[in-house]
Amino acid sequence: MTTSTTAVDHDRYKWIALTNTTLGVFMATINSSIILISLPAIFNGVGVNPLSPGNVGYLLWLLQGYLLVTAVLVISLGRLGDIVGRVRIFNLGFAVFSVASIALALDPYRGGHGALWLVVWRLVQGVGGAMLFANSSAILVDAFPTRQRGLAMGINQVAAIGGSFIGLILGGLLSIADWRLVFWVSVPFGLLGTVWGYLSLRDNGVRSAARIDWWGNVSFALGLTSILAGTVYGIQPYRNQSMGWTSPRVVAFVGIGVLLLTAFFVIESRVESPMFNLRLFRIRAFFTGSVAGLLAAIGRGGLQFMLIIWLQGIWLPLHGYSYQNTPLWAGIYLLPLTLGFMIAGPLSGFLSDRHGARTLSTAGLGVFGLSFVGLLVMPTNFSYWAFALLILLNGVGGGMFSAPNTTAIMNSVPADQRGSAAGIQAAFMNTGMVLSIGIFFSLMIVGLTNALPAKMYAGLVTHGVPATQAHAVAAVPAVASLFSSFLGYNPLASLLGSPAAAHVNAAQWSVLTGKGFFPALIEDPFHHGLLIVFGAAIVMAVVGAIFSALRGTRYVHTEQTLSEHAAELSAVSGAVPGEIALSEEVTP
Give the C-alpha separation, 151 to 132, whole Å. Answer: 20
Please enumerate, as own/partner, the contacts of 264-269 that have beta carbons within 8 Å and a separation of 24 or more.
Answer: 264/216, 264/219, 264/220, 264/223, 267/213, 267/215, 267/216, 267/219, 268/213, 268/216
pLDDT surpassing 80 at residue 137: no
Within a domain: residue 513? no
User: Do 307 and 422 have their domain in common?
Assistant: yes
pLDDT at 210: 61
User: Does 374 lie in the same domain as 325?
Assistant: yes
Mean pLDDT of 380-388: 93
311 and 388 fall within a common domain: yes
Nearest to 302 by CA among 447, 434, 166, 161: 434
- Asked whether residue 119 is assigned to any structural domain, the reply reads yes
Rg (CA), the chain: 25
Amino acid at 168: L
Q: What pLDDT shows up at residue 580?
A: 32
pLDDT of residue 87: 87
Q: What is the pLDDT of residues 173-217, one digit of tens each?
A: 888 788 899 999 889 888 888 888 888 888 765 566 667 777 887
The answer on 279 and 411 residing in a single domain is yes
User: How many independent structural domains does the chain possess?
Assistant: 2
The span from the first CA to the last CA of the chain, in angstroms, equals: 38
Domain for residue 389, yes or no? Answer: yes
Question: What pLDDT digit, counting tens, does each position of 12-40 carry?
Answer: 888 888 888 888 888 887 877 788 778 88
Give burial (CB, 10 Å; 0-12/13-18/19+) of 219: buried
**At residue 363, what is the residue type?**
A
Domain assignment of residue 226, yes or no: yes
The 10 Å Cβ neighbour count of residue 527 is: 18
Residue pair 62/118 in contact (Cβ under 8 Å)? The answer is yes
Q: Are 70 and 160 in a shared domain? A: yes
Distance CA 522, CA 193 (A): 45
What mean pLDDT value characterizes the chain? 80
Examine residue 515 and state whether it is found in any structural domain, yes or no. Answer: no
> Does some domain include residue 579?
no
CA distance 396 to 365: 10
- Spatial separation of the C-alpha atoms in residues 352 and 338, rounded to whole Å: 21
Cα 226–Cα 445–Cα 440 angle in degrees, nearest 5: 55
Choice between 335 and 586, residue whose per-residue pLDDT is larger: 335
Residue 200 lies in a domain: yes
Amino acid in the structure at residue 460 = L
Q: Please indicate, yes or no, if residue 192 is contained in any of the structural domains.
A: yes
Kindly report whether the global pTM for this prediction surpasses the value 0.85. Answer: no
- In a 3-state reduction of DSSP, which class is residue 416? helix
225, 241, 270: which is the final residue of a domain? Answer: 270
Q: Are 420 and 414 in contact (CB under 8 A)?
A: no
405 confidence band (pLDDT: 50, 70, 90): confident
CATH of the domain at 68: 1.20.1250.20
> Between the ranges 338-347, 364-373, 439-448, where is the mean pLDDT highest?
364-373
Q: Are residues 77 and 172 in the same domain?
A: yes
Mark whether 260 and 322 lie in a shared domain: no
Q: Same domain for 224 and 146? A: no
Query: Is residue 243 within 8 Å of 445, Cβ to Cβ?
Result: yes
Secondary structure (3-state) at 480: helix
**433 neighbors 297 (Cβ within 8 angstroms):** yes
| Whether 41 and 129 share a structural domain | yes
CA distances from 229 to 62, 72, 430 (A): 13, 11, 14
- Quote the DSSP letter at residue 334: T
DSSP one-letter string for 275-315: SS-GGGGGSHHHHHHHHHHHHHHHHHHHHHHHHHHIIIIII
* Mean pLDDT of all residues in 155-181: 79
Q: Are 485 and 526 in contact (CB under 8 A)?
A: yes
Looking at the predicted structure, is the pLDDT value of residue 411 above 70? yes
Shared-domain flag, residues 100 and 115: yes
Task: Please indicate, yes or no, whether residues 208 and 292 belong to a single structural domain of this protein.
Answer: yes
DSSP character string of 502-562: HT--HHHHHHHTSTTHHHHHHHHHHHHHHHHHHHHHHHHHHHHHHHHHTT-S--------H
**According to the per-residue pLDDT averaged within each range, which of 83-92, 278-287, 539-548 is highest?**
539-548
Q: Say whether both 237 and 148 belong to one domain.
A: no
Domain residues for the domain of 311 are 3-213+271-448+523-571
d(CA 178, CA 189): 19
How does pLDDT run across 484-529, given as a tens digit for each residue? Answer: 777 767 788 778 888 878 888 888 888 888 888 888 888 888 888 8
